[in-house]
Homo-oligomer: A and B are copies of this chain.
């Protein structure tokens, strides 16, 4: 209910997911019953063909807005779609939770309601970043702004599991985001993290600088949520920057206008890769369950992809693998 276009995009995305992969999963829509019903009626009027029997509704009267603090789901709005949805998972009535609502609220409610996977100190959010080769997984993407070396190490483990299970990368290459290539670079936390990663059984390839992120030479980039958040949001803003510069270019004469007109299509394809929506949400890793968090302005397509990803995480038992890996890599 908390997404920018909720519940319209959520309902449509769920219906699209069920239509595209019928029989693979069922979807429980958690939210204000009347508003969800209204969206379903719209789909029926359009003759949207999705298996209605695999869709159910659980009423949740309250809405956590984007302005609410991260503890709202647990303290003041216990009947929100976030709380009710996560409780379903905790009580075994669902196996995954997908939301385009308040990120902080989903994050803290997931951690507190679902608990952590054994061995995990800090659940984390990872995000796929486009590169000149295959996308790489940046972890932490903003969940933990203050991290100890042990946490950064765990991010490397969780990122490795995620990329091997969901992107079919065998032995994912792990890099540590730093200000230089040498082991001695960065602050004490980063240096100690380097040591932990190097001594582990992970496929650690060393430090990765800002200029290396888009090169695609690693599959997992480990960093704290401060650097990760800033890097990701900066990356997301690049298309708008180019659009603005290109518009200014086109305004300088008829020849430029012609060039810009022709170039637009080519650029659009390239920019699309930097578009958040295409990837459809980021996984919360390390909680005892599955949570996928989407952008507030998630499109139906993004919601659909988030549902597919959630189903895959359940099917591939990512949490079981994380637990086992943490035992193994520590030992």
Measured CB to CB, the residues of A under 8 A from B are 131-132, 142, 145-146, 177, 179, 185-188, 190, 209-215, 225-227, 229-238, 240-242, 244-246, 249-250, 256, 259-260, 262-263, 265-267, 269-270, 273
Number of copies: 2
A214 to B233, CA, bound (A): 11
Q: Chain B residues near A232: list those with CB within 8 A.
A: 210
CB-CB nearest 5 A-B residue pairs: A210-B233, A263-B263, A210-B234, A210-B230, A211-B233
Q: State whether A249 touches B235 (Cβ < 8 A).
A: no
Which residue from B187, B227, B236, B267 sits with its C-beta under 8 Å from A230?
A: B227
Q: State whether A273 touches B245 (Cβ < 8 A).
A: yes
In the complex, what's the smallest C-beta–C-beta distance from A65 to chain B, in angstroms? 14
Q: State whether A179 touches B262 (Cβ < 8 A).
A: no
Q: Chain B residues near A179: list those with CB within 8 A.
A: 142, 145, 225-226, 229-230
A270's nearest neighbour on chain B, judged by CB, is B245
In the complex, what's the smallest C-beta–C-beta distance from A188 to chain B, in angstroms? 8
Q: Contacts A211-B233, A249-B270, A263-B266 given; 14 further ones with Cβ under 8 A?
A: A145-B186, A177-B230, A210-B230, A210-B236, A211-B236, A212-B237, A214-B240, A215-B237, A230-B230, A230-B231, A242-B270, A245-B273, A259-B262, A267-B267
A226 to B231, CA, bound (A): 12
In the complex, what's the smallest C-beta–C-beta distance from A318 to chain B, in angstroms? 26
Interface centre among A187, A260, A273 (most CB of B within 10 A): A187
